[in-house]
Amino acid sequence: MKSPDNPKILAKNRKIGTNAKIAENVIIECNDLTIGDNVSIGIGTEENFRTVAGVVIKVEKLVLEDGVTIGRGVSIKGGTIHLAQNTTIKCNNTINVKDRLAVGKYGTINKHCEISGRDITIGQELWMLPYAKIGGGSAFEVHSKLCIGHYCHIGMYCLINTARPVYIGNEVGLGTRTMLYTHGAYPSALKGFPVAFGEIHVGSYTWVPGAIINPGVNIGENCVIGVNSLVNKDIPDGSFAAGSPAKII
């Protein structure tokens, strides 16, 4: 463990709490640094001992509240990064958020995830499983935005594309391989190919276990979307919809 005044921590303004554990192979570069009590960064454990040591954090402002844990093999870049109390970022994660990332207390980002974009706000007790991804194509454009409420579950291999804003309510479950696309464009519209950009809204208490949601779709509260469905039209509150394209059942 290295002391908080190690040369690899470069910050114009810093405040570091008690019992902060920071491994030797950690680099932190920022203008403003706040580390709370009992924070752990890059420390080897029985769970991550096979992971190559090292954490690189290069941001404008970093706030790690009490009890935050960042595992080995993590890269964090961007503007303001704020991880609330007892948030855990496990090994081999990549975070690149240009403007602001705020994750609520007791959130968990499991191994091998990726979070990228411009403006991302996530409520408390996020549960993000391995290989899930936030960002994707055009995620760094000016329109990019993601707002997720409390108690969200993001399953393995999920994708939340944020080329356009995505708004997700409280207690929403996105099951394994669920895909939210805010843009459908690759070949040029000038050559007659279809191009679609649009916000996505998913209401509170909705369960999407392994479906695809297209640009511009609004899914209401208390909905269930069938596995392997393709949602290309709005779904009203309290609906069960399934199929390709999805229809209300």
How far is residue 161 CA from its own chain's centroid? 11
Q: What pairs with residue 160 in β-bridges? A: 134, 180
Residue 51 is predicted with a pLDDT of 84
pTM metric for this prediction:
0.92
**pLDDT for the residue 1:** 44
pLDDT at 6: 59
Mean pLDDT by 10 residues, the chain (249 residues): 62 94 94 97 86 93 98 97 98 97 98 98 98 95 97 98 97 98 82 86 97 97 97 97 96
pLDDT at 189: 75
| DSSP code per residue over 72-93 | SSEEEEEEEEEE-TT-EE-SS-
Q: Token digits for 199?
A: 């916000």
Q: What is the pLDDT of residue 3?
A: 47
pLDDT of 47 reads 82
